[in-house]
Amino acid sequence: MDSTRIRRAAVAAALVSFVFFGVKDLVMAAAGGVGRTWWENPPFYIAFVLALVSLVLTGLVACRGRTWIARLGLVLVMLLFCAAAAGVGVLVVGVVQPADPGWIWGELNLFMLPLSALALALVLPRWPVAQLPGRAGTGRGAAGTLGV
Burial class (CB in 10 A: 0-12, 13-18, 19+), 100: exposed
pTM: 0.76
Contact 51/13 with Cβ under 8 angstroms?
yes
The single-letter code of the amino acid at 66 is: R
Per-residue pLDDT for the chain (148 aa), expressed as one digit of tens each? 577 888 899 999 999 999 999 999 899 888 887 888 889 899 999 999 999 999 999 888 888 888 888 889 888 988 999 899 989 988 888 888 888 777 777 788 888 889 998 988 888 766 665 554 555 555 444 544 444 4
